[in-house]
Amino acid sequence: MPLPQTPSFRLDGRRALVAGASSGIGRAAAVALAQAGARVTLLARQADNLVLLQSEMRAEGLEADYLALDICDTAKMESTLAAQAPYEILVNSAGLARHSPALQTIESDYDAVTNVNVKAAYFLTRAVAKSLVGAQRSGSLINVSSQMGLVGGIDRAVYCATKHALEGMTKAMAVEWGPHKIRVNTLCPTFTRTPLAEQTLSIPARRKWIEDQIKLGRIAEVEDLMGAVVFLASDAAAMMTGTSLLIDGGWTAS
């Protein structure tokens, strides 16, 4: 009887779109996918950082191009992606956080965070899926959520609301698009050393509290997420859809 064979983690020849690629988790995800063989399109609002990252990646022999695009401009985003060949992989790492106690939340902050973390995520994921369905292609769509999409957090009522919404959206899309062989999952990291997290990690007392909650005792690095991104994008995760992959150092285990 032949031995079972481990599915490949390679992504050779597949087209990947990474939103929020200019920094942090998105930047790391773009590099990880390209190192696994994908042809990566870097997407963010400003071109400068994308041009720099593209240059750095190409210097390492990695395939990368870029789109300077604001995903909150739904009409332009949809028309731009409709003109591209389908992307078999999406990593949506674009995100915004404006933290405050719930009693002090101002409406403009609520609207700004919701617009990026929910509305833009919804229509970006839909746009990529629509191209795949039209081309009768399978795909893996990954929304970068957070451990805060599964639990609550101090001063994070708005952020948690958006990430919980992202979790629900992902499950519903996975159910709807499963017959098209399109998988939709979330990646849920704990506090990760990125420019977005720096507003919290720069406060010594808050950082100490965070490290005490993470059972492995340290803040995550972007490298801790790169393997998970490749896994979810690859055939190794072919039976995973509508679920969350937690990389939280044990935060939510207790």
> Is 99:156 a contact under the CB 8 Å cutoff?
yes
| Crossing angle of helices 107-114 and 157-177, rounded to 10° | 30
Q: Choosing from 66, 87, 122, 159, which is the catalytic residue?
A: 159
Please say if 87 is a catalytic residue: no
Dihedral sign computed on CA atoms, order 96, 22, 199, 144: positive
**DSSP H stretches of helix in the chain:** 24-35, 47-59, 74-82, 107-114, 121-135, 157-177, 198-201, 204-213, 223-233
Dihedral sign computed on CA atoms, order 227, 232, 238, 242: positive
> Is 22:97 a contact under the CB 8 Å cutoff?
no
> Is 188:247 a contact under the CB 8 Å cutoff?
yes
> Is 22:44 a contact under the CB 8 Å cutoff?
yes
Which residues carry out catalysis? 159
